[in-house]
Chains A and B, each alone.
Chain A
């Protein structure tokens, strides 16, 4: 039996709102760095996590420009995790719920993100070695 596994991870939280998204990213990052394949199904607000138009901003209160502020954007973390997965011999696939994307107008996602439906979640969960659902409260 291979020690490389496939996991489906289901995300619901929008960016910039809750520590759950950060923890989810930490779990995904650890999994792909071990060479496992991770298939993310993002729905509701989580479809904005890989939104391509996220932009770093300045912080006028602290007198810092955008470069000094170095504001993190989740789209960059997702891209970095996709790259780390390939380097470790695994893969990070990211499927955004299409209806959720349309509702929020966040169709412009970074490269590697695809559009899907709950049927894709079912297929991935069925094919995976394990599934973790991280819901909002």
Chain B
């Protein structure tokens, strides 16, 4: 079993690639790996309840730990109380901590 940090910077309303990245996260968990998905920049947009939030909620249900960059949330005026269940705001230090822990890290 390995630990992965997947960083998603893209907006699913703008890029269909995001769904493939979510599929990667789900597949890694299904294979018994630990997966952290860190949303940053426009990647935080689906963390607020919308028509594109369902896939993210599904990842939470599947066991992926999902964090949303607190700075990116503030930039976009998204309060922590507006996030879908299971998505937690987190500082950028989370990325550093996962790097230090040795997670295999991929940026998208």
Do chains A and B interact in one complex? yes
- What is the 8 Å Cβ interface bit string for chain A, positions 121-133, against chain B (1 contact, 0 not)? 0000000011111
Contact size range, B: 10 to 19
Which residues of chain A are within 8 angstroms of B96 by Cβ–Cβ distance? Answer: 27, 30-31, 34, 36
- Among the interface residues A30, A34, A133, A135, which one has the most CB atoms of the partner chain B within 10 A? A30
Q: Do residues A23 and B40 form an inter-chain contact, with CB atoms below 8 A?
A: yes
A67 to B41, CA, bound (A): 29
A20 interface residue, CB < 8 Å from B? yes
Q: Cβ of A7 < 8 Å from any Cβ of B?
A: yes
14 other A-B residue contacts (CB within 8 Å) besides A19-B41, A30-B92: A5-B99, A19-B9, A19-B42, A23-B40, A23-B92, A30-B93, A30-B95, A31-B99, A34-B96, A130-B100, A130-B102, A130-B105, A132-B107, A134-B107
15 contacts between A and B (CB under 8 A): A5-B100, A19-B42, A20-B9, A23-B9, A23-B69, A23-B92, A27-B96, A30-B93, A30-B95, A129-B99, A129-B100, A130-B99, A130-B105, A131-B105, A133-B107
Chain B interface (Cβ < 8 Å from any Cβ of A): 9, 40-42, 69, 71, 91-93, 95-96, 99-100, 102-103, 105, 107
